[in-house]
Amino acid sequence: MGEVVPFKAKTPAQKHKGKSLCRSGFHKWEICAAKQFDTKQGKLVTRYRCQRCGAEKVKAL
């Protein structure tokens, strides 16, 4: 009696849902910096960042 059941805000499955999508290659890309000049490539690029896992990618224009 009187046993306290901890309140579970999120199940582990819900917690990992987003990242498992990322691992499958379905990142949620948002533009981090548009038309940025990349000195390595010598041209304009757009930087994208994943809202969930923070991965970044660069796309040349």
- Residues that bind Zn ion in the complex, under the rule CB under 5 A: 22, 27, 50, 52-53, 55
CB-nearer residue toward Zn ion: 41 or 51: 51
Measured between alpha carbons, how far is 15 from 4 in angstroms, rounded to an integer? 23
Cβ-contact 21, 29 below 8 angstroms: no
Please state the closest distance from residue 42 (CB atom) to Zn ion, in A: 28
Please state the closest distance from residue 19 (CB atom) to Zn ion, in A: 7
Please state the closest distance from residue 18 (CB atom) to Zn ion, in A: 8
Residue linked to tokens 């579970």:
8
